[in-house]
Chain A
Amino acid sequence: MAIDRRRSLFVIAVALVLFGCSTATTENVLSIGLVTNNVNGLRNVEGFQAGMAELGYEAGTDVEYIFANEPLSGDRLDEALEAMVEADVDLIFTAGTPTGVAAHRITRDSGIPVVFGVIADPIRAGVMEDLTAPGGNMTGVKLGEDQSRRLQWLIEIDATIRRVLVPFNPDDTAASSAVSQIESLAPGLGLDLVLAPAASDQAVTDLLAAFPADVDAMFLVPDSVVNARLADLIRVATAAGLPTSGPSIAQVEGGAVMSYGFVHHEAGVQAASIAVQILNGADPGSVPVQNTESFLAINLAAAQEIGLEIPDDVLRQADVVIRGG
């Protein structure tokens, strides 16, 4: 009996020591919802996840993502966001203005922070009133107001450009915002803007059918309706020998000659840094909205296809150069 008691005490003591020596801590695995309404937004999402991983939040270990792995829109988009609210996720990342707007509507009373990457113009989109102190539960990355600079890059690429076709959906705030950035500037650059409103896909079709012949270039703005017909627009513009400028590298990859604007992936990475600030305790309403980084992208193949010679100095300044073949 005495021996058994001693043995029991020893075992208990060892267990206490081992328990006390244990430095294992239970880590909380975060839950983050990802949602986008467009195909290019998938790149944003990818960039966001990469940025989170770079900042120490490995998927599966530190964070679990709730993601449909496809663009969502309409009711499906709302349902996905509502499900995230129901699941009380730690944060929601949205890519695309419509997604951001929907997230604002569905989550503003939930207390769940939302980081957008990207909303073209959050104020015009109605998700906030102050970019420096957004208030509410949303902050993130907006498109930089670099449309005028892009227009300037366009003429630096091709100094012969005088008339620029600008198809856009006037109902798209991002598009409207972009147009407003260049409208007043264009004359100063010696350019005439040919604004071509296209509020629907049919309107784009009609535009394509009646493509203006007296334009020297096409300037695409952030516009989900118009950019959904990128291939057709590129085809027509290329056939017309017109250089196309796109708002992002996606358009360059799609055949536009140049773009000066955000890179979807990089925008997601940029949004990740904001998300980490919030996850570390920052109040999303106090985190100022950032502008996306602007990158100069040149598609030499597209330029060559229309016989455009890109100046070397411009080419050297390009962040991305797509060479055909």
Chain B
Amino acid sequence: MSVRSNLAVQARTVTQSLRTRFMFIMLGLAVIPLLMLPLLAGRNASMQLEQQSVAFQRQVAAGVGSEIEAAIVGRVDDLEQLVLVAHLLDHSEDEQGVLLNSLLSSERMFQEIALVDADGDEVVRVARDEAVLPDHLGSRSGEPSFERARLTARSYFGPVGFDHEAREPLMTVAYPAVDVRNGNVPAVLIASLRFKPVWALLGDHEMTAHREVFVTNAAGTVVGHRDPTRVLREEVYLQSDADGRLPGLDGTESVVATVDLELGDERLTVVAEQPLSTALEASNDAFIVTLYVTAFAAFLGVAAIALVTRQVIHPIEQLAASAERVAAGDRTERVRTTRLDEIGELGRAFDHMTAELQSTIDDLEERVAARTFELEAAAMGQRSLISRLEAQNEELASVRDRLEELVRSKDEFLGSVSHELRTPLASVLGFATELRDNYELFDPEEREQFVALIAEQGEDMAHIIEDLLVAARADSDGLVVRSVPTDISQSVESVLRQVSGVVTEVEVEAGLEALADPGRLRQILRNLVVNARRYGGAEVSIDVGERSGEVAIRVRDNGTGLPRSEWESIFEPYTRSHHREGQPASVGLGLTVSRILARRMGGDLSYRHEDGLSVFELTLRSSRVDLSAASVSAGSAESDTPS
């Protein structure tokens, strides 16, 4: 998955998280409005404070203006009083001087007062800082103060200018002494007013509230300022049409208010300004305090939101984790909450559900185990059945194989039997036919040989048939075998007489008896000797011995012997261990019948090859041990053993 896809998935996970949404909702509902509050309130308060500040500045400007106006106009009134009340024009020059001096002394705003006649000539002049002598008097003709006052018959207020001798700004005012009868102006009082008191007045306002109050003339030139240098520099303040947030005298954003003073034709403007930061200081301070408090409250709010969120979400996460663990198999998992709220109820419900689930699963497991046990038992039975069936199948297969083997052996047996019988029968028929047909041609000796051969072949056929009958009766339990004391030596001698020329050595204890069926015994010995003659070596010996209650009759030959793997199989019916070339094929029943007969007689027949000799050992029970046990084997038929 690409990095972008991963980020997208993570982003979706975060945004869809209940924790995230919960916090956003809480922040949106609580904290954000809380943060908005100081901004809105602060802005509103700032605007109100600004308006209030403008109003206050206007009030200050008006107050200062009034004071300035009062000061200036008051001085003109003083001049008026001199004329109207003190009747200045009616006094002598000396007295006028005294009057003017009195006014000068009493009102420190006057720097100089001059009484000028209708022609503009100074009649009397007094000054604060110099002695004015008669020859110091001059003419004011042409000066605006005189001319305007005289012509208009109204008080004149001149511009403010810095007087270098007085070292301070002065303002020229003039009062026309109007003759009320004719309207003429016989004299004008021209005074230089000190603007320095105005500086002091302006400075007082500045000192108290970081407020700047200054006075400008109609051209905007600063004529009154607490800082005289600004007046001397003739700074210009461009006034706005409206009061409010405006640049101050030094360009700082300020709250500015102006009040115009109309002094005759002279217009002065009182400007009151306060730096915006100072004007809104209270608001700013309040805003900052509000901001800090709000930030603190927001911090507490966020902390509370985080805490509440954690208290709500964390248990849910724990619950989810517990559910995961339960799903993973830990049914002992429990939330074990002690909370009394809804989260606690959820936790307890979860624990109850988990307990019930555990109980149900345990019960199911028991039932499953029981059922499994049953199924397993059944399965075991089935498996046992299957095993038995398999065993049976194997047995059947074995039987089938055996049947097949038997069929094959039967076929072989029939083939062998037919072959075995055909040969002697052919001999018998041949010899008999020859005797019949050519009896006269043979001499008596030849006739006896022919008869002997016919008899011998007939005996062989009889033996073969006898073996077949024994084998058949043994399978059907119709074989009767006696176990009577039998002289072994006699039996051996009988067999030797039947099968002569085979055994080269015989060692038999005379009178040794064993429990046997004499006929069957001779049948067994005959088979063994015939086998030795057919398949064994040239030297065949018979020895009989007795040991531990048994009589052992051993037929040995020095033939090649059989491999150990065939020592038992040679006793299987229709089994032929080897077929010597030139020897007639056997049926394969001789040893089988011999063992059957031996065991019916209570003994056994075995083969071994030792010391270079094949040894067939017939063991019988010694009659000395059980002479009374003259037993007869099971079966209904008499023995057909020829004697």
Contacts and interface: CB of A to CB of B under 8 A. Distances in A.
A55 to B, nearest CB: 6
B167 A289 contact: yes
B203 interface: yes
Interface string B302-344: 0100010000000000000000000000000000000000000
A58 interface: no
Contact of B128 (A276, A288, A294): A294
Nearest to B229: A286
Interface string B216-245: 000000000011110011000000000000
Nearest to B208: A56
A296 B102 CA distance: 12
Contacts of B300: 13
Contact of A151 (B102, B131, B136): B131
Contacts of A273: 200, 203
Nearest to A145: B129
Contacts of A189: 131, 133
A288 B195 CA distance: 14
B129 A16 contact: no
Contacts of B226: 277
B299 interface: yes
A132 B133 contact: no
Contacts of B288: 20-21
A13 B203 CA distance: 44
Please report whether the interface of chain B is mostly helix, strand, loop or mixed according to DSSP: helix
A313 B106 CA distance: 11
A1 B130 CA distance: 88
B167 A131 contact: yes
A83 interface: no
A139 B97 CA distance: 35
A320 to B, nearest CB: 12
A123 interface: no
A188 interface: yes
B207 interface: yes
A209 B293 CA distance: 83
B98 interface: yes
A316 B129 CA distance: 18
A65 B114 CA distance: 45
B289 A185 contact: no
B388 interface: no
Contacts of A133: 232
A317 B106 contact: yes
A14 B296 contact: yes
B392 to A, nearest CB: 76
B108 interface: yes
Contact of A148 (B130, B134, B293): B130
B168 to A, nearest CB: 7
Contacts of B129: 144-146, 149, 291, 294
A91 to B, nearest CB: 16
Contacts of B167: 131-132, 142, 144, 288-291
A21 B131 contact: no
A16 B299 CA distance: 11
A13 B105 contact: no
Contacts of B291: 20
B366 interface: no
Contacts of B196: 290
A161 to B, nearest CB: 14
Contacts of A17: 292-293, 295-296
A21 B292 contact: yes
Interface stretch (B28-36, B143-151, B158-166, B498-506): B158-166
Interface residues of B, number: 44
B166 A291 contact: yes
A21 B165 contact: no
Q: Which residue of A17, A151, A185 has the most chain B CB atoms within 10 A of its CB atom?
A: A17
B101 interface: yes
B285 interface: yes
A56 B209 CA distance: 11
Interface residues of A, number: 45
Contacts of B355: none
A296 B131 contact: no
A317 B232 CA distance: 32
Interface in A252-296: 273, 276-277, 280, 282-283, 286-291, 293-294, 296
Contact of B229 (A287, A296, A313): A287
A23 interface: yes
Given A286-B232, A288-B228, A316-B102, A149 B166 contact: no
Contacts of A151: 131
A152 interface: yes
| B105, B135, B200: residue with the most chain A Cβ atoms closer than 10 Å | B105
B229 A188 contact: no
Interface in B280-298: 285, 288-289, 291-293, 295-296
B130 A145 contact: yes
Contacts of B296: 13-14, 16-17
B131 A288 contact: no
A87 interface: no
Contact of A132 (B162, B207, B227, B303): B162
Contact of A146 (B101, B102, B128, B289): B128
A13 B299 contact: yes
A9 interface: yes
B127 interface: yes
A273 B106 CA distance: 23
Contacts of B227: 277, 280, 282, 287
Contacts of B134: 188
A315 to B, nearest CB: 11
A175 B271 CA distance: 43
A20 B131 contact: no
Interface in B113-137: 127-131, 133-136
B130 A291 contact: no
A224 B163 CA distance: 29
Contact of A21 (B127, B133, B293): B293
Contacts of A290: 167-168, 196
Interface string B150-181: 00000000000010111110000000000000
Interface string B178-218: 00000000000000000010001001000110000000000
A13 to B, nearest CB: 5
Contact of A317 (B102, B293, B303): B102
B108 A148 contact: no
Given A290-B167, A291-B166, A316-B102, A276 B228 contact: no
Contacts of B101: 313, 317
B131 A282 contact: no
Contact of A188 (B135, B166, B233, B285): B135
Interface string B396-414: 0000000000000000000
B285 A23 contact: yes
Given A146-B130, A149-B129, A288-B232, A131 B164 contact: yes
Interface in A160-208: 185, 188-189
A288 B225 CA distance: 13
A178 B165 CA distance: 15
Given A21-B289, A21-B293, A313 B102 contact: yes
A100 B129 CA distance: 23
Contact of B168 (A277, A291, A296): A291
B165 A145 contact: yes
23 contacts: A6-B303, A16-B295, A17-B293, A17-B295, A56-B207, A132-B232, A133-B232, A145-B130, A146-B130, A149-B127, A149-B131, A188-B131, A276-B203, A277-B227, A277-B229, A286-B232, A286-B233, A296-B105, A316-B102, A317-B101, A317-B102, A317-B105, A318-B105
Q: For the complex of A and B, list the 4 residue pairs with the smallest distance between their C-beta atoms, beginning with the closest.
A: A317-B105, A20-B292, A152-B131, A188-B133
Given A56-B208, A133-B232, A316-B105, 20 more contacts: A20-B289, A20-B292, A21-B292, A23-B285, A131-B167, A142-B167, A145-B129, A145-B130, A148-B131, A149-B129, A185-B133, A189-B133, A277-B226, A282-B229, A283-B229, A286-B229, A288-B232, A293-B108, A313-B102, A317-B102
